[in-house]
Structure 1
Amino acid sequence: MNPILVLFLVLQVFGQPPGNVFQLGFLHCDDVEGSSAYVSYRTSASAASIAIDRLKRENRLVGYDFNFTILYDQCDENVAAGMAVQLFANYNVDVLIGPTTNIPAVPVFSLAYFYNRPVITWGLTSSAALDDVTRYPTAGILSIGSRSIAVAFREVMLEYGWDQFVFAYSLEGNDEKCETLRDDFQDMIAYYQDLVMSYSVQITDHSEAGMLAILKDASTRGRIIVPCFHEGNSRGLHRRWMLVAARNGFVSEEYVYIFPSLRSKGYVVPQPGGTVRYPWEELGKGPQPSDQEALIGFQRSIFIVDMQGQGGVGSNYTQFEEEVIQRMRQSPYNCTDACSGPTYQQAATYAGQLHDAVYLYGLAMEKMLQEDPKQYRNGTEFPKYLVGTFQG
C-alpha cells in the first residue's frame, strides 16, 4: 500500500519548533484476520485527526504543524521492522505511533531506541516484556498489559483479606495471554511476597467433563480459583466453566472465581454489529434454560478487565465512534469503497487509544518545548513527559 501523507496546519502565534513541523509516523494493520475488530486501519486511523482537532480546540501547541505518514505493518514482525526503518530513516519522523500488536512491537521498540526517537504504542500491545524501560527507554505504552492486570488482581485479593489462589489456564486459541499472565502473576508474587499461588494447572480438555476434572482437582488446593481463557470472552469458555461449576456444587459461599482478562468488558461481551450479550448467555443460540444455571455461577465471580481501553463507556464515546467512521470517508483518508462493507461501520475497539496516543504526544511536546525545545525528538528524554492525567 502507498503511504498517506496528511498535513494539519495551525495558525502560527509563536515561532515554529526546531524542524518546523512535527513529523508523526504511524504503523497500522489493515484488515488483518484476528485483529481487525480491535485495531483495523479502516476503523481507527481517523482517531488521530480527531486528537489533532482537540489539541487545536484547547489551544495547545498553537503555531505548530503536524505531518502524518502512515505505513502498514500488517501485524507482522518483519514487515514492522522494515516499515519502522523507513519511517525513521527515510521519512525522518519525530515520533512513531504503533505498532498495535505484541510481536511487531519488539523490533520496532529496539529500532526506536537505536534511532533515539519516541514511540507510543496502543491497541493489543499487552506483553509485560515491553515494559522493560532499560531495554526500551524511548517507549510509551497506552494499552494495559498483563503486568497491570496482575497488580490489580493483588489489590483485589488484599482488599478482601485473601492470600492464596489456584490458577487454571487454557491455551485454546493461544494468543499468549494465559502463559504470559501466569508468569506475571508469579513475578508479582515474588516481588510483593504477600500472596501465594498454591497450584497452577493447564486446562487441556475443554469439554464439560474435562473442566469438571480440573475443578475437582483445583478445589482440593484452594477456594479462590483464577481461570484464564482466550481473550475477549468470545468463545463461550467462561460460560462453560461457570455452568460446570454451578451444576456440580462448586458455587457455594466457599468459592470465588476471579477472571483476569484483557480485551474484555467483563460482564458485557461485545458482538459484531455493535450489539452485546452477557457472558452467561450461550453464544449464537438465543435464550437457553441453561443460561440461568450459568448465571448462578457468575454470581460468585469477579472480572478484572481493561474495558477494552474505553473506560466507562457513555454517550460521548458513542459519538466518538461515529465520528471515526464518518471521517475515514473524508479527506485525507478518502476510504470510501474500501470502508463501505458492514464490517467497517463500527469503530475499532481500541480506536480511542489511538486518539489518546496522539493527544498524549501533544501534551508531552507542550511540556518539552517549554523546558528545552531542542530535545523535542530525544527519545530517551521523552517518557518522563508522558506522566500526567487527562480525560481520554
Structure 2
Amino acid sequence: MNEMIFFNFFLISIFNFIESVNIINVGILIPSNADSALHRDCGMYNSLGAIPLAIDRIVDEGLLDNYNFTFKIFNDECDESLAAGYVATLLEEDGVDVIFGPVCNAAAKVVGSIGNYYNKPIMTWGLANSYELTNYDKYPTVSTIVGTSRVLGRAIVKVMQQYNWKQFAFLYGTNDPRNRCGFIKTDVETVINNESDIFISYQRAISNTSLENLKTVLTAVSTRARIILCCYEFDIDKRNYLLALKDLKMNTDDYVNIFVEMRGLGFGTRFTDGAEYDIVSGTVPIWILGPGYPPDGRDQDAKNGARNSFFIDFQTSSSADSKSFASAVMERAQSWPFYCENCSSVYYNASTYAKYLHDSFYLYGLALNRTLASGNGTEGIPNGVDIILHTRGTFVGVTGVVNIGVNGTRDATFFFTGLRANLKSQVFMTIPFKEGVGTIYLNYTDSATTVWEIRGGKVPLDVPLCGFAGNLCPVDFWANYYPYVIAAIVVAL
C-alpha cells in the first residue's frame, strides 16, 4: 500500500512567534521499505532524518525567517505511473510549492515534465542521475544534486588518457529493476563514441551475478581485455566479482579492474559498524560480507581479489563523519518533526543517499532565500523556474563542495581511488567538472610508488605485448636468425 503521510510543524525558532507566517508546502515522492535495494539507497525510513538536519542549518543561517513547512509524502516506489498520479495529487489537490523526488531516472523524467507544466521546482536526489534530466529546455524546473552519469563517462576518459589506455571492456549488471547500471552504461557509451582514440573492446550485460557466472564472464573477458570497467547495483555482486578475480587469478599485475559508481563511497559501503573500515569513506569495505548473509569465511579472499581494483566514484565528503551523520539521520527521523516509529537504527541504517537529500533540501532553502532577496516571489512562494535559476552557485554540503551550474545541475567531482601495497585505500586523482569540462589533480608525485606500488611500479598495458592469447610476441631477431647471419658472414669471407 502506498499511503500518504502528512506532517505539519512550526519552526518557532525561525519566526519568533510572529503571527504572520509564510507556509511552504513540501511534497515528497520516496520509496518505502518494500524494495530492499531502494530502501538501502534512498528509502523513506532511513532517509527522512536528513531533512530536519538540513532545516537546522537553514535556521542557523537565518535563510528563511518567518517561514513554516508542511510535508505530504507519497511512496511512489520509483514507479512511473504511481509517480505521475501522486505528483498530480500533490500539485492539484494539495497545492505543494516544491517536490523532493522521485529518486529514480524514469520516474524523475515523468515528474520533471509535469513540474515544468505547473512551473514547480522538482528537487531530485538518490538514483536520479540521467543526463537527460539536465536538458533545461525540457526540464527547466528540475534540480539534480547528484550529478550525471554522462559526466562519469568523461571522468573515465580522463583516467584512460592519463595512463595511455585506448581500450577497455565494460561489464554491467542488469539484475536491478530500475536498470541503474543500464542508464550509466548508455551515458558512458555515448561519451566514448565521441572519442577518437578510446573504444570499448568488449561489452556484456550480466543478469546472473552469482560467483560462478561471474567467473564464466571474466574467463571470456580475459581473451579480449586487460582494462575492465564494471558497474554493479549490489554490494554482494561487487564482492562476488572480487572473489571471481581471486579465484581466476585475474587480480594480478596484468589486469586493471575499475568499478564505476555514483554513490560517493568508493571501496566503502553504507554500513558504519564493523571490524574493519575503509580509510577514504570511513565505512565498512565491500570485501566484508554484509549483514543478512550467512558467513562464508572468504572476506580475506575478496580483499585479496581487490588488490588491482580501483573506483571512479563521486567525491567522498570530508566535511561530515559518515558514522556520526548516519546516526544523526536515524535519530532525527524518530523525533521532531516526523516522529517516525519505524525509523529505528536497530533495523535500519541510514540510506546511501541520505547525504544528498540533506544537501538538496538545504539547496532549496538557499535558492528560495536568494529568490526572495532578488525581489521575486513577494506575492507568495516563487515559481519553479526562478527557484532553479537561483540554485546556481557553490556551497559546502554534507556531500562535499556542491557547485550548481547554469541549468540547475551539479558539477560533480570524481575520485579515482585505489589500494596501496598494504591494501589501504587512497585517492590518487581528483577530477572536478565545471560546466562539463573536467580537470585532473594528481594526489601523488610519483605514480610508481603510489598508484602502481602494488605492481612493482609498472603501469599495466591495455593490450599485452604478446596479445591477449599470448601468441603475438615480437620476434627476437638475433635469437631466431643468429645462425643464418653467421653463415652468411662465413660465406662472404
Structure 1 length-normalised TM:
0.84
Q: Which amino acid aligns with 1:32?
A: A
Q: Is the 8 A contact 1:258 1:304 kept in 2?
A: yes
What is the CA deviation profile of residues 248-277 of structure 1, one whole-angstrom value per residue up to 9, with x for unaligned ones? xx3443321111124473322345x84465
Structure 1 residues 141-180: aligned runs within 5 Å: 141-173=144-176, 175-180=178-183
Matched, 1:187 2:190: yes
Q: Is the 8 A contact 2:371 2:382 kept in 1?
A: no
Structure 1 residues 242-281: aligned runs within 5 Å: 242-246=245-249, 250-263=250-263, 265-271=265-271, 274-275=273-274, 277-281=284-288
Pick from 380, 383, 393 the counterpart of residue 378 of structure 1.
383
The whole-number CA distance in structure 1 between the counterparts of 2:186 and 2:143 is 22
Pick from 15, 23, 31 the counterpart of residue 11 of structure 1.
15
The whole-number CA distance in structure 1 between the counterparts of 2:47 and 2:209 is 35
The whole-number CA distance in structure 2 between the counterparts of 1:49 and 1:15 is 23
C-alpha change, 1:360 and 1:313, in structure 2 (3 Å) is closer
* Equivalent position of 2:423 in the other structure: none
* Equivalent position of 2:34 in the other structure: 32
* Equivalent position of 2:118 in the other structure: 115
C-alpha change, 1:121 and 1:203, in structure 2 (3 Å) is closer
Q: CA deviation at 1:32?
A: 2.1
What is the CA deviation profile of residues 173-205 of structure 1, one whole-angstrom value per residue up to 9, with x for unaligned ones? 454133322221221123444422122234466
* Equivalent position of 1:311 in the other structure: 317
Q: Which amino acid aligns with 2:139?
A: Y
Structure 2 gap segments, 5+ residues each: 275-282, 398-493
Structure 1 residues 293-372: aligned runs within 5 Å: 293-306=301-314, 311-312=317-318, 314-315=320-321, 317-336=322-341, 338-340=342-344, 342-344=346-348, 346-372=349-375
Q: Is the 8 A contact 1:30 1:42 kept in 2?
A: yes
Q: Is the 8 A contact 1:13 1:62 kept in 2?
A: no
Matched, 1:21 2:23: yes
Q: Which amino acid aligns with 2:331?
A: Q
Between the two structures, name the one with larger relative contact order (CA 8 Å, sep ≥ 6): 1
The whole-number CA distance in structure 1 between the counterparts of 2:299 and 2:333 is 39
Aligned partner of residue 374 in structure 1, secondary structure:
coil
C-alpha change, 1:305 and 1:4, in structure 2 (3 Å) is same
Aligned partner of residue 393 in structure 2, secondary structure:
coil
Aligned partner of residue 27 in structure 2, secondary structure:
strand
Q: CA deviation at 1:330?
A: 2.4
Structure 1 gap segments, 5+ residues each: none
Range moving further from structure 2, 378-387 or 133-142: 378-387
C-alpha change, 1:245 and 1:175, in structure 2 (3 Å) is farther
Aligned partner of residue 221 in structure 1, secondary structure:
coil
The whole-number CA distance in structure 2 between the counterparts of 1:187 and 1:332 is 44
The whole-number CA distance in structure 2 between the counterparts of 1:285 and 1:61 is 49
Matched, 1:89 2:92: yes
C-alpha change, 1:169 and 1:357, in structure 2 (3 Å) is closer
Pick from 216, 226, 230 the counterpart of residue 227 of structure 1.
230
Aligned partner of residue 69 in structure 2, secondary structure:
strand
Aligned partner of residue 26 in structure 2, secondary structure:
strand
The whole-number CA distance in structure 2 between the counterparts of 1:362 and 1:30 is 25
- Aligned-residue sequence identity (percent) comes to 30
C-alpha change, 1:40 and 1:13, in structure 2 (3 Å) is same
Q: Which amino acid aligns with 1:259?
A: F
Structure with more helix by fraction: 1
* Equivalent position of 1:201 in the other structure: 204
What is the CA deviation profile of residues 126-152 of structure 1, one whole-angstrom value per residue up to 9, with x for unaligned ones? 333333333212101122443232222
The whole-number CA distance in structure 2 between the counterparts of 1:281 and 1:265 is 14
Q: CA deviation at 1:112?
A: 0.3
Q: Which amino acid aligns with 1:352?
A: K
C-alpha change, 1:255 and 1:192, in structure 2 (3 Å) is same
Q: CA deviation at 1:292?
A: 4.7
C-alpha change, 1:42 and 1:214, in structure 2 (3 Å) is closer
Which of the pair has more CA radius of gyration?
2
* Equivalent position of 1:69 in the other structure: 72
Q: CA deviation at 1:341?
A: 7.7
